[in-house]
């Protein structure tokens, strides 16, 4: 069986940093090569934007350092905007498009619209489902 290629949506990365739990376990597993992690320029930009919102209290330099750390172990797909309509929310199109361009086997998100969408051959998982997937012996 081929190695899993997991594209992480912004909400998974933000949850990992701010709240820990299952999203953090998933990011740590990808950091230590349990599967191939993928993100995009769009996701990293959105990640920095969300973390630097006043309610989270993270300065831009720290948010950028976190994004650079993610880019050090995840393949960065050079998609920053979408060219086609994939799902119900156009704001999510760049995420789905980057997962397709990056040849992801799975898209990991907490976004209910993406979870409900048909994404042209990519299996969409919650972070908990992704952790279960990469814990299976045939995926790493």
23-67 pLDDT per residue, tens = 999 999 999 988 999 999 999 999 999 999 999 989 999 999 999
pLDDT level of residue 121 (50, 70, 90 thresholds): confident
Q: Report how far residue 58's alpha carbon sits from residue 93's, in angstroms, rounded to the nearest whole number.
A: 27
Total residue count of the chain as it appears in this document = 140
Whole-model pTM? 0.90
CATH of the domain at 100: 3.40.50.1010
In a domain, 57, yes or no: yes
**25 vs 86: CA distance, rounded Å:** 29
Q: At what angle do helices 21-31 and 60-73 cross, to 10 degrees?
A: 50
- Is residue 140 assigned to a domain? no
- Give the number of other Cβ atoms within 10 Å of residue 48's Cβ: 19
Amino acid 53: pLDDT: 96
Helix residue ranges per DSSP H, 20-109: 21-31, 41-51, 60-73, 93-101
Q: Range of 116's domain?
A: 5-135
State the Rg of the chain over Cα.
14
44 or 116: which leads in pLDDT: 44
How many folded domains does the chain comprise? 1
Q: Count Cα atoms within 13 angstroms, Cβ side, for 33.
A: 0
Specify the pLDDT at position 2: 78
Give the confidence band of 14 by pLDDT, cuts at 50, 70, 90. very high
- 85-112 pLDDT, tens digit per residue, is 555 566 777 888 899 889 999 999 998 8
CA distances from 17 to 20, 64, 107 (A): 6, 13, 19
């Amino acid at each position: 069986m081929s190695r899993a290629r997991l594209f992480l949506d912004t909400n998974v990365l933000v949850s990992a940093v701010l709240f820990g739990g299952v999203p953090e376990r998933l990011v740590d597993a990808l950091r230590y090569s349990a599967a191939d992690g993928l993100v995009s320029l769009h996701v990293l930009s959105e990640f920095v934007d969300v973390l630097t919102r006043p309610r989270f209290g993270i300065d831009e330099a720290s948010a950028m350092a976190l994004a650079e750390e993610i880019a050090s172990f995840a393949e960065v797909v050079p998609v920053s905007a979408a060219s086609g309509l994939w799902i119900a929310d156009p704001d999510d199109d760049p995420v789905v498009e980057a997962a397709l361009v990056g040849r992801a086997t799975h898209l990991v998100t907490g976004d209910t619209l993406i979870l409900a969408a048909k994404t042209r051959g990519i299996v969409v998982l919650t972070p908990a489902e992704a952790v279960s997937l990469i814990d299976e012996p045939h995926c790493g």
